[in-house]
Amino acid sequence: MAQSVSEKNLSGVSPSESSPLPTGERWLEHVENGLRPFWIMDTAKGTPIGNFPTFRCDNGALLNIDAPCNELNQDWIRSHFSRDYTRMKSRQIYAYGVLYHLTGDVEALKLAKAGVDYLLHTLRDQQNGGMISFRENGKPGLNWQQRTSQDQAYAIVGLAFYYYLTRDPVVEQALIEQQQFIFSQYRDNATNQLLWVIEDGDEQYRKQQELVAQLDQINAYLLLVTPLLPEPARQKWRQDLYWLTEQMLVQYHSEDEQRFYGAIHHKAVKMANARHNDYGHTIKAYWMTYLVGRYLQQPDWEQLGRKGMALTLQRAAYGMSPPQMKPYLSEQLYSQWQTLPEILSWRSGQYNWYISSWQWAELDQAAVTLNMLEPGSTSQQLNFTLNTYFDAWVDHQYGGVGSPKQFHWGNGYHQFEHALVGYLGTQAAYEKPARLYYALSPKYEGTLQPYYYKADIVRVSQGKTLAGFEGLQEVTVDFEHIRP
């Protein structure tokens, strides 16, 4: 039986001195050989290129509705086969952006741009504002008031990362317009938060008060983009980011239970086993709280986020015996760990030992961040969970993570953010510089930062002009002293 290690220090179990944190080179190898193959297949690129598909089988094949592959032939997925989701195209833009950011792969940047162009030209609701949530049989689904605010956020997660890479003025304007649409249409004075939907429909209800209606605005675009915007947009976004974070903490955070409620419109939805009351959502909310607190110079939020991450990681960590873990590990990794009393893993909730790849990624990312704040504090847990991720979650034949890999909620977003945060955290742990690639105008003189983190710039190198990117140049930046 799995044993909780909630009362243990996460650094208290050592896999072995010969198994340090994965190196930066290991992370880049993971991106090139573990992730890239699945997302660079022709079937991933869409028709036309940039119209990325919502559904693909684990071997990369496109969905055949008449004979779906086993991994997609499940009721909760099959009922969405007729829909083509904007949020999944945007998440795939994000994935290609990170692939370029870490490796300088220009083909990946071209795919990101194709996705951006398709989204902006085809999936914006020109009549009502905002983004189409999905198309069904080629036509926009839902009345605009029935689209969730979460879908409106994730429709631009790819645009946000592309803007971070390029500072493209067209994308900048689209982001400003979308943020204005969300905060003007979904902000509800009665509840002082963002609505889930404006009008009932598609089994979603206006009365719902959902954590992700607030949280996913922060992690999808607000936190990354706000520092990069020109005034007066930056000040407007800062004010909205402050208000949204404050309301998320006031209304959704439980001081008594030290967790975030997944929803608050009824006492039943606050229960630990209810939807979105898992460690993945709570750790993401604490991670965002810490990062927003640091950015907006709110030390109470920083402290709350930092303490909340540490406690949630302790709750989520648990030990399994080597024989229990053997089915999930390669022979090489199992032989390395088989004599240990236990192998540390993650679980998704207080009453749930099942965990999805995105939850695993979020827990790792918070642990990496804490390890940057307090070197060594989570390194032993990360030794186990990062190496297990490379070994057990990655498909070493076709590439990509998990199963199913690509469906109406699963795509490249979490696995590529995991790789980016992991690479930056590893380079910080080894006190080595991190090299990242941007695509910028030769005249650009603005802010450069490594994702959500701070760092000192060692070197900026301008490279070739990138064909098809309106004069943008490849810019290589070496960062050192990376810190949260």
Name the region of 258 (left: φ>0; alpha: ψ -120 to 50; beta: rest): left
Does the pLDDT at position 4 exceed 50? Answer: no
DSSP summary character for residue 124: B
Q: How would residue 466 be classed by pLDDT, with cut points 50, 70 and 90?
A: very high
For the four alpha carbons of 392, 395, 396 and 397, in that order, the dihedral sign comes to: positive
Give the pLDDT score at 14. 43
Q: What is the model's pLDDT at position 330?
A: 92
Cα-based angle 331, 335, 340 (whole degrees, multiple of 5): 135
Q: Which CATH number fits domain 3-434: 3.40.50.300, 2.60.40.1120, 1.50.10.10, 3.30.460.20?
A: 1.50.10.10
CB atoms within 10 A of CB 343: 26
* pLDDT, tens digit (0-9, with 9 covering 90-100), for 66-120: 999 999 999 999 999 999 999 999 999 999 999 999 999 999 999 999 999 999 9
* % of the chain beyond a pLDDT of 70: 96
Give residue 470's Cα distance to chain centre: 29
pLDDT tens-digit readout, 335-356: 999 999 999 999 999 989 899 9
187 — phi, psi (to 5°)?
Answer: -70, 125
Task: Using alpha carbons, list the distances in angstroms from residue 286 to 219, 226, 252.
Answer: 11, 19, 11
Cα 221 to chain centroid distance, Å, stands at 11
What does the pLDDT read at residue 236? Answer: 98
467: nearest Cα among 39, 47, 113, 99:
113
Taking residue 361's Cβ as centre, other Cβ atoms within 10 Å add up to: 27
Residue found by looking up tokens 């402050």 in the block = 242
pLDDT of residue 39 exceeding 50, the answer is: yes
Write out the two tokens for 1: 């039986």
- Decide: residue 37, CB within 10 A, 0-12 exposed, 13-18 middle, 19+ buried: middle
Domain ranges for the chain: 3-434
The Cα–Cα gap between 234 and 225 comes to 9
Return the biggest CA–CA distance within the chain. Answer: 64
182: Cβ contacts below 8 Å, ≥ 6 apart: 130, 149, 152, 153, 194, 217
The distance of Cα 197 from the centroid of its chain, to the nearest Å, equals 22
Which tens digits make up the pLDDT trace of 386-422? 999 999 999 999 999 999 999 999 999 999 999 999 9
End-to-end CA distance of the chain: 36
> What confidence score (pLDDT) does residue 451 get?
98
Average pLDDT, the chain: 95
List C-alpha distances in Å: 464 to 53, 467, 471, 475.
Answer: 31, 9, 10, 8
Instruction: Tell me: pLDDT of 6 over 90.
Output: no
pLDDT at 15 over 90: no
pLDDT band at residue 1 under the 50/70/90 scheme:
very low
At 20 the pLDDT is 76
Q: What is the CA radius of gyration of the chain?
A: 21
Which of the four pLDDT bands, split at 50, 70 and 90, describes residue 438? very high
Which pLDDT tens digit goes with each residue over 156-210? 999 999 999 999 999 999 999 999 999 999 999 999 999 999 999 999 999 999 9
pLDDT of the residue at 455? 98
pLDDT in tens, 125-161: 999 999 999 999 889 999 999 999 999 999 999 999 9
Whether the per-residue pLDDT at 13 is higher than 80: the answer is: no
pLDDT at 10: 43
> Residue 11 above 50 pLDDT?
no
Q: In percent, how much of the chain has pLDDT > 90?
A: 94
* pLDDT reported for residue 353: 86
* CA 298/CA 245 separation, integer angstroms: 11
Distance in angstroms (rounded) separating the CA atoms of residues 166 and 472: 8
- Helices and strands, counts by H and E, the chain: 19, 13
Q: What is the rounded CA–CA span in Å between residue 238 and residue 78?
A: 40
Q: Which two tokens stand for residue 212?
A: 């992700």
